[in-house]
Amino acid sequence: MKFLKLLAILLLTSSTVAWADGLDLKPDWLMLQYEYRTPYASAPNPLATKPNSNGAYTNIGKYLDDGHHIAIDVGLEGLAANGQTTTATFGRIDTGLTLSYNGFFLRSAVGEKFTSTTKDGFYSIEPGYKYTINDKWKVWGSYRYRTEFNDAYHDDTNTVKAGVIYSIDNKTDLGVTYLHLHGDSTDQNGVNVGFTWRF
């Protein structure tokens, strides 16, 4: 996994330099989503005792080339357990680089996960494919591997995603995504629903 870690850092560093060199900081899209997660029992996590949770995810990004094959983005996520009156149970912020061609894409990201008591850096690799049905509908799927930089946290996760996108107009999309997450410390199914605006 050291290779994946080095690859993620290299891609993010090079993309940040390329973006800054262009001096055009106007974003190309903004995504806002509602998130819902529910735990399930598995072999490493036999008791699904954690409560359901909900929260929000936002992502803003920019294409680095005219063909829209290279993009950089920043994502921010916050989730709170149902019935909790404090702030988010945990949050994540990351910076990602996505390479895409003919429907195939690969996103590499580095970021930080934080709770009220801990925080640690992480990196992720996510290959996937998006299929255009017509000018209104798209479907897509991906697999994401994510792990903490500090092995002591034991927080590796493997997530399968499947989504549907409906283009309301040429500037606005409505998306629904199903997620199945299996990890060292938690197993969850989830749904994201939200909008993406293109500028």
pLDDT band at 81 (very low <50, low <70, confident <90, very high): confident
From CA 164, how far away is CA 144, in angstroms rounded? Answer: 17
Summarised one tens digit per residue, pLDDT across range 159-174 is: 999 999 999 999 999 9
- 16 vs 146, more confident: 146
Percent of the chain predicted with pLDDT > 90: 60
pLDDT digits (tens, 9 = 90+) for 53-62: 899 999 999 9
Residue 20 has φ and ψ, to the nearest 5°, of -65, -35
Q: What is the mean pLDDT of residues 174-185?
A: 92
Q: Burial, 96: exposed, middle or buried (Cβ in 10 Å; 0-12, 13-18, 19+)?
A: buried
| Helices vs. strands in the chain: H and E counts, helices first | 1, 10
Work out the pLDDT band at 15, boundaries 50, 70, 90. low
8-state DSSP, 171: T
Average pLDDT of the chain? 85
Q: What are the boundaries of each domain within the chain? A: 2-198
Residue range 2-198, CATH number: 2.40.160
